[in-house]
Amino acid sequence: MLSVCANTGCSAGFRYLRQGKLFAFYTESNGALVQSARPEFFWLCADCASRFTLILEEKSHVTCVPLRLSPTQDGAKSTYLAAANERAA
């Protein structure tokens, strides 16, 4: 269950899906990004989402990185799930 921002330096509580960004990571034991029936969800509050993104690193470790660092630069991948209000726009 999501309860706080995935940025370890932030303690913002999860209240509404429309605030911030929700990420889903699908992993196997080898750390490869794959779709499965049971994704793991992470959330960044609106303030952190404006400055950071989440990436999946080796060994299935999720890390918060500045937006200016492209996740594709180092081969890491992330899946962002758009909130309902962003899909409608």
What are 27-65's pLDDT values in tens digits?
665 555 555 557 888 999 999 999 999 988 876 788 899
Summarised one tens digit per residue, pLDDT across range 9-23 is: 999 999 888 899 999
Do 53 and 81 contact (CB within 8 A), yes or no?
A: no
Asked whether residue 34 is domain-assigned, the answer is: yes
Question: What are the angstrom distances between the C-alpha of 67 and each of 29, 49, 88?
Answer: 27, 9, 24
How far apart, in whole angstroms, are the C-alpha atoms of residue 85 and residue 7? 23
Q: How far apart are the first and last CA of the chain?
A: 27
Q: Is residue 16 situated within a structural domain?
A: no
Q: Residue 84's pLDDT is what? A: 41
* Total number of domains in the chain: 1
- Within a domain: residue 33? yes
Q: What pLDDT does 13 receive? A: 94
Q: Enter the pTM of the model.
A: 0.66
Residue 12 placed within a domain: no
Q: Higher-confidence residue: 73 or 26?
A: 26
Structural domain of residue 41, as residue ranges?
A: 21-82
Instruction: Please indicate, yes or no, if residue 55 is contained in any of the structural domains.
Output: yes
